[in-house]
């Protein structure tokens, strides 16, 4: 049975929980996100900071404004469509935003805005896979697992000032 390694990481957003399989980062839990019940994922959970040395160093650089892209082994779990969306998220440049419609176009289905939004919302690697860079078609902030204040903080760190209007969807 596989082991899930975990460690805490303190950042300007609060406490993140990093999870991995010992080789790759598999999940970043945002502040307030509840960890799964012990039986949810089946695998034993081991608290160990060592497997996350590179992720921690790169997150430190990102929050210090010195890193614009992450170069880490990642192993998110998702459907083929979700994985396709998450690959496109990694292509959004630091300090730039795109809309859900633009993201749908990039995955090859202009009519898939809602499906793209759902996949974006299920991104298990927020910050590292920058789902915070996706905004509403009118330029306003839309939902983010860590809350809109966290999304605004991440975008501000990258020099982006979105419209003041906010939507929850």
CATH number, domain with residue 94: 1.10.10.10
Residue 168 has pLDDT above 90, yes or no: no
List, in sequence order, every beta strand (DSSP E) within the chain: 4-11, 14-20, 25-29, 45-47, 98-99, 134-135
Average pLDDT, the chain: 90
21-37 burial, b at 16+ Cβ within 10 Å, e below that, comes to: eeeebbbbbbeeeeeee
Residues 78-99: tens digit of each pLDDT: 999 999 999 999 999 999 999 9
Are residue 100 and residue 142 in the same domain, yes or no? yes
pLDDT computed for residue 144 by the predictor? 86
Residues 85 and 131 in one domain: yes
Give residue 42's Cα distance to chain centre: 23
Same domain, 17 and 84: no
- Check whether 143 has a pLDDT greater than 90: no
Please list the residues that pair with 5 across neighbouring strands: 20, 46
> Is 113 a catalytic site residue?
no
* Res. 10 pLDDT band, cuts 50 70 90: very high
Is 72 inside any structural domain? no
- Among the listed residues 131, 141, 150, 154, the single catalytic one is 131
Residues facing 134 on adjacent strands: 98
85 and 59 both lie in a single domain: no
The domain of 91 spans 80-157
What is the distance between the alpha carbons of residues 131 and 89, in angstroms, rounded to a whole number? Answer: 6
Cα(37)–Cα(25) distance, integer angstroms: 20
Given this model, what pLDDT does residue 169 score? 42
Q: What are phi and psi of 51, to 5 degrees?
A: -65, -10
pLDDT band at 138 (very low <50, low <70, confident <90, very high): confident
Q: Is residue 122 part of a domain?
A: yes
The arithmetic mean of pLDDT across residues 86-115, rounded, is 94
pLDDT digits (tens, 9 = 90+) for 30-58: 998 876 665 556 788 899 999 999 999 99
Structural domain count of the chain: 2
């Amino acid at each position: 049975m596989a082991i899930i390694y975990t460690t805490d990481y303190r950042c300007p957003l609060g406490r993140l929980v990093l999870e991995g399989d010992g080789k790759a980062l598999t999940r970043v839990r945002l502040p307030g996100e509840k960890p799964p019940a012990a039986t949810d994922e089946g695998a034993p959970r081991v608290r160990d900071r060592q497997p996350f040395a590179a992720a921690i160093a790169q997150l430190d650089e990102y929050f210090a404004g010195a890193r614009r892209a992450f170069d880490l082994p990642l192993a998110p779990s998702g459907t083929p469509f979700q994985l396709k969306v998450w690959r496109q998220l990694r292509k959004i440049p630091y300090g730039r935003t795109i809309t859900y419609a633009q993201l749908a176009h990039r995955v090859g289905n202009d009519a898939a805005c809602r499906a793209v939004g759902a996949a974006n919302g299920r991104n298990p690697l927020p910050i590292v896979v920058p789902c915070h860079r996706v905004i509403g078609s009118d330029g306003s902030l839309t939902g983010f697992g860590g809350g809109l204040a966290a999304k605004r903080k991440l975008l501000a760190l990258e020099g982006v000032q979105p419209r003041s209007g906010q939507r929850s969807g």
